[in-house]
Each structure stands twice: as structure tokens, then as C-alpha cells.
Amino acid sequence: MKNNDLEDSLSSNSDTSLPLNASGGQNSPRPARRKNQNSSNEKSKNGGYPERQLQDKNSRGANFAFMEIPELPYTIPRVVKGRAIIKVPAGSTMEKEVARQSWYVEFFFHNAAEERMERIRVTRKLNRIKDPKQKLRNFNNLCEAYKIALEGGWNPLDEHANARLKKELIGIDLNEALLLFESYHKAKGTRPKSISTYRSTVNSFIKYHGGNKKVNKITDFDIADFLNFKEREGKWAGVTYNNCRIGLNNFFRYLKVNKYIPENPVTDCETRKKMPTQSHQIFTERDFKVIMDWLDKNDRYCQLFVRMIYYTCIRPKELRFLQLKYIDLEDNTITIPGVVSKNKKSIPVNIDVSLRAELDKLQIEKFDKEYFLLGSADTFISHKMCAENYAYNRFKKCLEATGLLDKNYTLYSFKHLSNVRKFRAGWTLAEICSANRHGSLSETETYLKELLKFVKSDKTIPAI
């Protein structure tokens, strides 16, 4: 966890350019007083400065040897609100002008090794807040967190203790946690779409509870309250509820592993009964013929796009990224690079004889190898990649024109139909697994579970 503002403030010496003014109650270090001498005598002997002020002034940038070692090795933290306001501009208020200053929480801690009191100042980037009431509330909370930490025996000069304070006592809020969670998944190589899904889920939770809420204050009640509200108001189906719960579980599990929270508050939250998904439905033979006839007459680009999915089982996103250099017409294969492939593996796919006839019409060999196979509806092959939903939007027009929009057909429906037809044509599970570039047979079995209800045998039942 990086928080330069906090870590720098706790691990380095304080800025001695500020005047010494660390009030803190009866346990605060007090300067040694000279006996039998009043302030007027001090002022006259020291060029107009009382002895205590002179010691203060001369000690800046040096040390705090003049301070007695108190019963407690620290002063009570306080909020310092910057410079005094001399003039309030027209249209503003004193409260607003004070909030525009650079505030900080300040206290002193005894450095036993150097036998001096060190000034500690922290802001935790709260000066970005301009609303006076909100700024005061946040700084007071920060100040209170440091009071609790110091009372608990925390040493701000101990590097390991600093990390513990940040994670356990002061904590991070939901906004900070989301940034860390995203950074972790980017470094891990998680797919951008998955990161986007995580971000959407957590942002929805943040919107409900507030981004400034500390992650170590989140309870299982907060999780259940959010999920129940979204289920009730958003009319969520069971699968949506469960997917959101899974996203939050991953988020808080990350925070637990990295010691920002002691327990995952999502663990004991209930799930909903899973309902069969209604998306990516398999075409009926009649609907499939209607769709292909319409595409053949009205959208040759979309027709080639869906034919590629049907014959190769390459995913729509992978087709968008498909460059000519990955198509080997001599070996009759297409290889999706690992950086694009869902399973991060570069596995070749055979080009079926029917698909080869379509590719030969494009005269691929005449184009630069860096061009994209399906980059343009006008020329097919293009130096630019098509937009993310370009092919789907064209397919959606087909569904609207043929009156099939309400049947939950998607581009993946072509892949599903292809697998059902393979199964019915006698392909083995291993062959279907290879065609889909699945990592294991169990993955293929899970994939086919919903599809098998469309498989009907025409074989006769042996007579009794």
C-alpha cells in the first residue's frame, strides 16, 4: 500500500520551518522554566524576546533538547488550520477562506535514539477537500485516529508500525481500496473486461455506502443491506444477485489477504438460487436459416463474421483482434495469440474447407500482414480494427428485421449451434474440447451441459 503523504509524514523528520506550538494537555512535554524571572525581565535581556520564545526561535532546525521528557513519549495530536486569515475577499466567508488553507494534524514524539522530540505532521491528502464542514470532519476523524493509535502504544518512528497504523487503525476508505484492487488486477494480467465488471460492482457498492467509509468498518450487515436493496429496487434476478456477491467477495477477499480488514464480510452472506441463463440461446434450425438468408442478402460483412464464429469457434472479441499474420493458408490454420486469447494460450484452429472458400475470395496474400481481417464492412480487410460492438450491432439489426430480437440470440449463439451440430454429427468430447480451445474436458462438459437439451437422438430403442 502506498500513501506517500502518510508514509513520508511518519517516516521522516518534520518540517521545522513551522513555529513550535504543540499543545496537548497535561501529558504534553513542557519547556523548562527559569525560576525567579518574570517575562518583562526576559524581554529586556534578550532584545525584546522573552527567554522561552528565544529558546523556541533558536531551536528551530536544530533539536528540542530544551523540552523535558514527559510521562508519555508524545503530545496530544491536534488539527492545525494553516495561516491566520487577515482579510476575507468579497463574496467569500471566513469559514471558506480557512478551509482553503493547508491543514495538517500535528504532534510530537520522543526519539529515544537521538534524545529529542520530533515533530510529526500528516494530511493524508485531505487538503483536496474544499467544503469547510466536510474538511473539518475528516481532519477531526484523522486526528482522533492518531490519538487512539498513540494511546494504544503505536510508535510513529517505527516503519513496521506505520504500516500497521495505516492498515488496521487509520485504515483506508472504499475509494482508496478500489484503486488498489484495480492496480492489483492490472499487474496480475486480469482481462480488462473482468476488471471493468469488478469496478462496476464495487462502484455500485460505493455509491450506496459512500466512498469515504473505511473498509475496516464494513460489516456483513452492510453487504446484505446493499444486496437486498439492489435486488428489491433493481428487480435483480438470482444470477445478477449472485454475480454481484461474487464481485464483492473477490474485492473484500483481496483486502483481507493484504491485512486491510480482519475478516471478509461477504463470506456469510446468503446466495440466491441459480436460474438457467437466458442469453446466448441456441438457434432453432428454422431461425438459423432465416438469419443466414437475411445476412446473405443484406449484410455480407456480418455474414462472414458469424461464419467465422461458426466454423472456428473463435470468440467475437478474438475475431476483432485477428490480424492477417495469424492466418496461415499454407498450413490451413488460424492462431489466436495468447495476449488476445481468453485462456492466454496460443492454440491453432483448423480452417474448415467451407471457410477456406470464403477466405480465398478476400485474396489475403495481397495485403499487409498487420492488417485486420474484419476491420471494415466495406472492404472487410482494413488497417484499423473494428469497434467493440460493431459486429453485434449489425447482427442486432438482422434480428430486428427478422422479428427474432426477443429470443435472446447473440453472436455466441453461432458458436453454441456449431458445438451442438458437432456433437450430433458424432464428434467426441475431446474433439469438441480441442475445437473450442478449452483447457480441460471438464470445462467442455460444463459448457455443453445446457446445450445437451437440444440434442435429440434418432436412434431406435432396443426392443424388450
> Average pLDDT over the chain, rounded to whole?
80
Helix (H) or strand (E) holding 104: strand 104-111
Which amino acid is residue 375, in one-letter code?
G
Q: Quick one: average pLDDT of 6-15?
A: 37
Residue type, 408: N
Work out the average pLDDT over 368-389. Answer: 92
Q: What is the mean pLDDT of residues 245-258?
A: 92
Residue-wise pLDDT for 269-279, tens only, equals 888 775 555 56
The residues, any chain, with a CB within 8 Å of residue 152's CB and separated by 6 or more, are 169
Phi, psi of 111 (to 5 degrees): -90, 100
pLDDT range class, residue 18, cuts 50, 70, 90: very low
38-69 as b/e: b if 16+ CB within 10 A: eeeebeeeeeeebbbbbbbeebeeeebebbee
Q: What does pTM read for this prediction?
A: 0.50
Predicted local confidence at residue 453, as pLDDT: 63
pLDDT at 455: 61
Is 31's pLDDT higher than 80?
Answer: no
Neighbours of 197 (CB within 10 A): 16
pLDDT band at 282 (very low <50, low <70, confident <90, very high): confident
User: Where is pLDDT greater, at 90 or 10?
Assistant: 90
Percent of the chain predicted with pLDDT > 70: 78
In the structure grid, which three cell numbers stand for residue 168, read together? 488496521
pLDDT tens column, 312-346: 999 998 999 999 999 999 999 999 888 888 777 88
Compare 38 and 27 and report the one with higher pLDDT: 38
Residue-level pLDDT at 136: 92
Whether the pLDDT of residue 170 is over 70: the answer is no
Query: CA 56 from chain center: how many Å?
Result: 48
**Domains delineated in the chain:** 4-30+67-170 (no CATH), 174-257 (1.10.150.130), 285-454 (1.10.443.10)
On the question of pLDDT at 248 being above 90, the answer is yes
In angstroms, the CA 285 to CA 16 distance is 81
Kindly state the cell numbers that stand for 230: 439492489
C-alpha gyration radius of the chain: 34
| Beta carbons of 174 and 210 less than 8 angstroms apart | yes
Q: Is 227 exposed, middle or buried (0-12, 13-18, 19+ CB in 10 A)?
A: buried
Q: For position 436, what pLDDT does the model report?
A: 87
Query: How many CB atoms lie under 10 A from the CB of residue 175?
Result: 14
Q: What is the pLDDT of residue 162?
A: 62
Burial-class residue 346 by CB neighbours within 10 Å (0-12, 13-18, 19+): middle
What residues contact residue 191 under an 8 Å CB cut-off, 6+ apart?
Answer: 342
| pLDDT confidence of residue 223 | 93
Name the pairing type of β-strands 104-111 and 78-80.
antiparallel
Q: Which three cell numbers stand for residue 141?
A: 476523524
Helix axes 174-188, 238-257, angle to 10 degrees: 90
